[in-house]
Amino acid sequence: MSAVTDINLYDLLKKFPVYRGGAAEGLIAKLVVAGPGADAWRLGLSDEEQRILGHVLTTEPESPGVEEVRSAVACLGKRRLGKKMEDINNALATAESQGDSQAIDDLLLMKRLAREATSRLEEF
């Protein structure tokens, strides 16, 4: 996990878009596309995105440190995996009710992988 110290927040979010599905998804996606140094206020933000950006800038005036980035990415990743786990569980229930053994096997594997990824994020 030491690779996080060698990567900045921009690169991390570009490579691992764990922000998808969150309240600030549109804002973060626009910032990632625009790249470092872009004037966020000139990105054609929606009213909600402007509100979120204004709130963040007034409450968090300094750039996050490495530990804050790690924590935020782990939290977003766990939240995203939690949502995916719900989808897997729903699909598993459907496959079980239909007696689709191949789908059950595939979904159980996906469930194990999601649990392992969540466990690794706990260590992050």
> Which is more confidently placed, 66 or 30?
30
Taking the domains of the chain in order of start, what are their residue ranges?
Answer: 1-63, 65-124
Query: What's the pLDDT band for 86 if we cut at 50, 70, 90?
Result: very high
The span from the CA of 40 to the CA of 53, in Å, is 8
CB 30 within 8 A of CB 45: yes
Q: What is the pLDDT of residue 2?
A: 40
Share of the chain above pLDDT 70, in %: 93
27 exposure class (CB count in 10 Å sphere: 0-12, 13-18, 19+) = buried
